[in-house]
């Protein structure tokens, strides 16, 4: 049985709904007592849980007395009542417009706080790089508090859910600690540290007023040409599950709300099937049988749902030609029926607009009827809201489907304590950008390094002169990759945030080891060994779909070619360090290297790379996916990989 996910303050069990006697008594008494009349804005939150408990205990005698005018909380405001009672009570108070508002997630760029109040929106997101002010924590907190205050002004003050892609740290925020991307975490394979990472990321999110992250990604990537390969922990579903679960547990323990995405088989699409302009495989079609879908791609969701994950995000991709955003069998029959998922399903970024129908209203109806509960509609959110209302009024969308969707959304908001803590002030105030988080991130970097080849040149030794070259040596953006301060990340050496480059870490380690780092080409002759640090440009999603995965192709860092040539012409021993979001094609270059290490996308704490190179610790990373010799070998069971999944030399 998967670990029970614990949210703040206790074990949270989503599987059973206890409708106790307390509920019936509470509801009857509530209707009798003279609490805040319907329609007025109740005083929220109730004076105190103790006060409402006192009110509850006196309710049983209320029938015989003229109900006193009290500000007793309404059932939905009463934290002592079972969640289902609170959901049922609140749902019963909502108008159709308010219900439709809860089902909408707009983007901060298109919906102001005033719009949240006006339309009673349930959620707002920051898309990748959609940052307020200077992007620092104060600017984020000011913004998210303004949105929540706006939500509290609604006729029914329902806490707003603000969501971000904190996919390897609070990566939209300047000065946040950016952890290695998921593929590196797959190589590190440290479940015990995943929970700590979840808590750390939650702390940095909560510090900026943000409770919800669209992570972890449960993709089981099969084709490394996919631009989202680095968002996958592994091509092995068991490894994905073993890392995603503790990570989600850590997020919840830290007071944040995780999202299992992208449901389902986003990592199973076939190359060349994408219909998105300029993409090749991202958002493509998983042309696979149901057995493969279940044991490879659905498997991680089973554990996450059993553990109570609150949100599932739908994949842009298709399964056998049908877009997931309208796959009723998978979204409703399997996810909510067979697997018993009790949270809510959110569409991906304007994903419903990709559905092949004439009008937005038809697309909204198709998605909602298939099982989508909240629509991530960044620009057309007002039209989408109206489409839900009109869809119910004209029969395209059953009222019961809307009530189920809203109940799911409210359930998560109640379960996550947002009604009692809309401004996240009761959550443990953790740190933002702390040394503790940096140490944890650097440890994960160190554990993620995979030693691919070593003829004995490693570790570097005292007295050695190490000449460092290559475009990924001193570029914080290159080592962070996509989803870093912006959607596509950044490259160049102008620092937009704090962090330690790989080169800076090498200099510190060399000093400790009594070795010397050289970077001026005039010093090449003096060097004992060349450390070649090359890799990929940052990218995200289909922008990173790579036909060749080569060190000199369209996604390769511009400085790769001259660095490769310099290393080769130096006639010195060469150690190559690859900084990339996937296992690139290196079969030819590898032959001329004395040693090679895969460093993946380490994030802001590049100091985690040097210690193993200098022998301060061993290499323990193992490949989380097969490393193909050529692009043509991808997916061919009979083709022998350059390195198999699980490969990694150990240097004690
Ligand atoms: C994107 C991604 C998804 C992300 C969402 C919000 O297009 O597919 O992973 O969570 O939009 O940024």
CA distance 310 to 250: 14
Contact 304, 313 (CB under 8 A): no
Contacts of 21 (CB under 8 A, 6+ apart): none
**The pair of three-digit structure tokens given for residue 470, joined into one six-digit string:** 């290559």
Contacts of 511 (CB under 8 A, 6+ apart): none
What's the DSSP call for residue 311? E
Bridge partners, residue 545, by sequence: none
Given pLDDT bands bounded at 50, 70 and 90, which one contains residue 124? very high
By most ligand atoms within 8 Å of CB, the mutation choice from 105, 164, 165, 264 for ligand 1 is 165
Task: Name the residue with the closest Cα to ligand 1, atom 6.
Answer: 127
* Cα three-residue angle 245-251-252, rounded to 5 degrees: 90
- What pLDDT does residue 651 have? 81
% of the chain beyond a pLDDT of 90? 86
Is residue 633 packed enough to be buried (19+ CB in 10 Å), middle (13-18) or exposed (0-12)? Answer: middle
Cα–ligand 1 centroid distance for 410 (angstroms): 22
Return the higher-pLDDT residue of 158 and 637. 158
The string of pLDDT tens digits covering residues 141-157 is 999 999 999 999 999 99
Task: Name the residue with the closest Cα to ligand 1, atom 11.
Answer: 349
CA distance 484 to 231: 13
Q: From the alpha carbon of 259, which atom of ligand 1 is closest?
A: 10
By most ligand atoms within 8 Å of CB, the mutation choice from 214, 230, 259, 281 for ligand 1 is 214
**The pair of three-digit structure tokens given for residue 140, joined into one six-digit string:** 């984020």
- What pLDDT does residue 495 have? 61
Does residue 529 sit in helix, strand or coil?
A: strand
Cα–ligand 1 centroid distance for 309 (angstroms): 18
- What pLDDT does residue 23 have? 44
Is the pLDDT score of 616 beyond 90? Answer: yes
The string of pLDDT tens digits covering residues 437-493 is 999 999 999 999 999 999 999 999 999 999 999 999 999 999 999 999 999 999 875
Q: Where are the strands (E) in 267-310, listed by range?
A: 285-286
Cα–ligand 1 centroid distance for 107 (angstroms): 12
Average pLDDT over residues 251-255: 96
- What pLDDT does residue 61 have? 35
Average pLDDT over residues 554-573: 97
Contact 206, 255 (CB under 8 A): yes
Answer whether 482 contacts ligand 1 (Cβ < 6 A). no
Q: Which of 394-398, 422-426, 429-433 has the lowest mean pLDDT?
A: 429-433
**102 to 88, 99, 159, 402: CA distances (angstroms):** 15, 5, 10, 10
Task: Name the residue with the closest Cα to ligand 1, atom 12.
Answer: 127
Does residue 260 sit in helix, strand or coil?
A: strand
- What pLDDT does residue 491 have? 83
What's the DSSP call for residue 643? B
Output the average pLDDT for the chain: 90
The string of pLDDT tens digits covering residues 373-393 is 999 999 999 999 999 999 999
**The pair of three-digit structure tokens given for residue 510, joined into one six-digit string:** 């060399």
Answer whether 419 contacts ligand 1 (Cβ < 6 A). no
Cα–ligand 1 centroid distance for 494 (angstroms): 26
Q: In what order do the strands lie in the sheet with 212-213?
A: 212-213, 161-164, 123-126, 104-107, 375-376
Answer whether 203 contacts ligand 1 (Cβ < 6 A). no
Look at the alpha carbons of 280, 281, 282, 288 in this order and tell me if their dihedral is positive or negative: positive
Residue linked to tokens 């193909």? 628
Residue linked to tokens 């909240």? 374
Average pLDDT over residues 573-586: 98
Q: Which of 64-68, 137-141, 196-200 has the lowest mean pLDDT?
A: 64-68
Q: Is residue 62 left, alpha or beta, with left meaning phi > 0 and alpha meaning psi from -120 to 50? A: alpha
Answer whether 165 contacts ligand 1 (Cβ < 6 A). yes
CA distance 145 to 150: 8
Cα–ligand 1 centroid distance for 267 (angstroms): 14
Q: From the alpha carbon of 214, which atom of ligand 1 is closest?
A: 10
Contact 307, 245 (CB under 8 A): yes
**The pair of three-digit structure tokens given for residue 493, joined into one six-digit string:** 């050496």
**The pair of three-digit structure tokens given for residue 240, joined into one six-digit string:** 């994905």
Answer whether 128 contacts ligand 1 (Cβ < 6 A). yes
Query: Does residue 652 have a cis bond before it (omega within 30 degrees)?
Result: no
Contact 165, 216 (CB under 8 A): no
Nearest to 260 by CA among 349, 365, 335, 367: 335
Contacts of 337 (CB under 8 A, 6+ apart): none
Q: From the alpha carbon of 351, which atom of ligand 1 is closest?
A: 7
Average pLDDT over residues 585-591: 98
Is residue 173 packed enough to be buried (19+ CB in 10 Å), middle (13-18) or exposed (0-12)? Answer: buried
Does residue 595 sit in helix, strand or coil?
A: strand
Average pLDDT over residues 61-68: 39
Does residue 107 sit in helix, strand or coil?
A: strand
Q: Which of 30-34, 124-128, 205-209 has the lowest mean pLDDT?
A: 30-34
Answer whether 377 contacts ligand 1 (Cβ < 6 A). no
Phi, psi of 161 (to 5 degrees): -100, 115
Cα–ligand 1 centroid distance for 312 (angstroms): 12
Give DSSP secondary structure letters for 318-356: EETTEEGGG-HIIIIIIIIIIS---SEEE--TTGGGGSS
Helical (H) or strand (E) element with 480: helix 476-480
Does residue 534 sit in helix, strand or coil?
A: strand
Q: Are strands 465-469 and 529-535 parallel, antiparallel or unpaired?
A: parallel
Cα–ligand 1 centroid distance for 540 (angstroms): 10
Cα–ligand 1 centroid distance for 347 (angstroms): 9
**Cα Rg of the chain (Å, integer):** 26
Bridge partners, residue 595, by sequence: 454, 575
Task: Name the residue with the closest Cα to ligand 1, atom 8.
Answer: 348
Is the pLDDT score of 46 beyond 50? Answer: no
Is the pLDDT score of 275 beyond 90? Answer: yes
- What pLDDT does residue 647 have? 98
Torsion angle of alpha carbons 222, 235, 483, 610, nearest 10°?
-130
Nearest to 232 by CA among 169, 182, 307: 182
- What pLDDT does residue 6 have? 38
Phi, psi of 549 (to 5 degrees): 50, 30
Answer whether 129 contacts ligand 1 (Cβ < 6 A). no
Cα–ligand 1 centroid distance for 261 (angstroms): 9
CA distance 12 to 10: 6
CA distance 188 to 363: 42
Torsion angle of alpha carbons 427, 432, 437, 439, nearest 10°?
-150
Contacts of 631 (CB under 8 A, 6+ apart): 225, 547, 548, 549, 585
- What pLDDT does residue 71 have? 74
Answer whether 212 contacts ligand 1 (Cβ < 6 A). no
- What pLDDT does residue 28 have? 43
Given pLDDT bands bounded at 50, 70 and 90, which one contains residue 5? very low
Q: Are strands 465-469 and 516-518 parallel, antiparallel or unpaired?
A: parallel
- What pLDDT does residue 252 have? 96
Look at the alpha carbons of 179, 182, 188, 191 in this order and tell me if their dihedral is positive or negative: positive
Return the higher-pLDDT residue of 40 and 456. 456
Is the pLDDT score of 619 beyond 70? Answer: yes
The string of pLDDT tens digits covering residues 295-345 is 999 999 999 999 999 999 999 999 999 999 999 999 999 999 999 999 999
Contact 198, 215 (CB under 8 A): no
**The pair of three-digit structure tokens given for residue 355, joined into one six-digit string:** 């559905």
Answer whether 266 contacts ligand 1 (Cβ < 6 A). no
- What pLDDT does residue 429 have? 74
By most ligand atoms within 8 Å of CB, the mutation choice from 162, 170, 349, 543 for ligand 1 is 349
Q: Which of 24-33, 269-278, 457-466, 505-514 has the lowest mean pLDDT?
A: 24-33
Contacts of 358 (CB under 8 A, 6+ apart): none
Task: Name the residue with the closest Cα to ligand 1, atom 1.
Answer: 349
Active site residues: 348, 541
Is the pLDDT score of 510 beyond 90? Answer: yes
């Amino acid at each position: 049985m998967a670990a029970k996910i614990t949210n703040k303050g206790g074990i949270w069990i989503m599987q059973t709904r206890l409708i106790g006697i307390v509920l019936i008594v509470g509801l009857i008494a509530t209707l009798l007592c003279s609490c805040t009349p319907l329609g007025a804005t109740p005083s929220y939150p109730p004076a105190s849980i103790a006060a409402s408990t006192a009110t509850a205990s006196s309710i049983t005698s209320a029938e015989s007395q003229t109900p006193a005018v009290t500000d007793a909380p309404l059932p939905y405001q009463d934290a002592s009542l079972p969640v289902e009672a609170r959901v049922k009570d609140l749902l019963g108070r909502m108008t159709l417009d308010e219900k439709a508002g809860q089902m909408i997630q707009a983007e901060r760029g298109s919906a102001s706080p005033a719009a949240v109040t006006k339309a009673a929106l349930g959620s707002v997101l920051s898309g990748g790089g959609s940052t307020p002010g200077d992007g620092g924590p104060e600017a984020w907190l000011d913004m998210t508090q303004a949105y929540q205050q706006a939500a509290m002004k609604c006729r029914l003050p329902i806490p707003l859910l603000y969501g971000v892609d904190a996919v390897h740290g609070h990566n939209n925020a300047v000065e946040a600690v950016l952890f290695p991307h998921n593929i590196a975490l797959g190589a590190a394979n440290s479940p015990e540290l995943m929970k700590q990472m979840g808590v750390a990321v939650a702390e940095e999110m909560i510090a900026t007023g943000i409770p919800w992250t669209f992570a972890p990604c449960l993709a089981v990537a099969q084709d490394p040409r996919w631009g989202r390969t680095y968002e996958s922990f592994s091509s092995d579903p068991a490894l994905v599950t073993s890392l995603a679960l503790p990570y989600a547990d850590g997020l919840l323990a830290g007071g944040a709300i995780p999202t299992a995405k992208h449901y389902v088989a986003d990592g199973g699409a076939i190359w060349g099937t994408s219909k998105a302009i300029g993409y090749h495989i991202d958002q493509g079609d998983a042309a696979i049988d149901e057995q493969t879908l279940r044991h490879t791609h659905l498997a991680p969701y089973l554990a996450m749902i059993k553990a109570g994950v609150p949100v599932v995000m739908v994949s842009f991709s298709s399964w056998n030609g049908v877009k997931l955003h309208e796959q009723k069998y998978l979204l409703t029959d399997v996810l909510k029926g067979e697997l018993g998922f009790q949270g809510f399903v959110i569409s991906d970024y304007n994903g419903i607009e990709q559905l092949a129908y004439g009008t937005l209203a038809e697309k909204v109806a198709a998605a909602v009827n298939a099982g989508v509960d909240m629509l991530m509609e960044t620009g057309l959110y007002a039209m989408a809201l109206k489409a839900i209302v009109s869809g119910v009024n004209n029969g395209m969308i059953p009222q019961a489907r809307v009530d189920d969707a809203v109940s799911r959304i409210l359930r998560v908001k109640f379960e996550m304590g947002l009604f009692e803590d809309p401004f996240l002030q009761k959550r443990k105030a953790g740190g933002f950008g702390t040394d503790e988080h940096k140490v944890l991130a650097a440890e994960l970097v160190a554990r993620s390094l995979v030693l691919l080849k070593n003829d004995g040149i490693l570790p570097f030794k005292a007295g050695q002169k190490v000449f460092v070259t290559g475009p990924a040596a001193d570029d914080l953006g290159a080592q962070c990759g996509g989803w870093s301060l912006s959607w596509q990340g950044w490259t160049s050496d102008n620092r937009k945030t704090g962090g330690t480059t790989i080169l800076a870490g090498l200099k510190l380690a060399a000093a400790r080891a009594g070795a010397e780092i050289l970077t001026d080409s005039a010093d090449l002759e003096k060097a004992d060994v060349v450390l070649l640090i090359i890799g990929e440009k940052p990218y995200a999603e289909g922008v990173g779909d790579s036909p060749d995965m080569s060190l000199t192709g369209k996604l390769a860092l511009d400085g790769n070619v001259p660095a490769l040539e310099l290393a080769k012409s130096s006639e010195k021993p060469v150690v190559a360090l690859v900084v990339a979001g996937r296992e690139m094609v290196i079969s030819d270059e590898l032959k001329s290297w004395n040693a090679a290490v895969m460093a993946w996308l380490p994030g802001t704490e590049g100091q985690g790379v040097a210690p193993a190179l200098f022998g301060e610790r061993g290499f323990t990373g193992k490949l989380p996916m097969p490393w193909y010799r050529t692009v043509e070998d991808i997916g061919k069971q009979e083709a022998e990989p350059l390195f198999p999944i699980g490969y990694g030399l150990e240097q004690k």
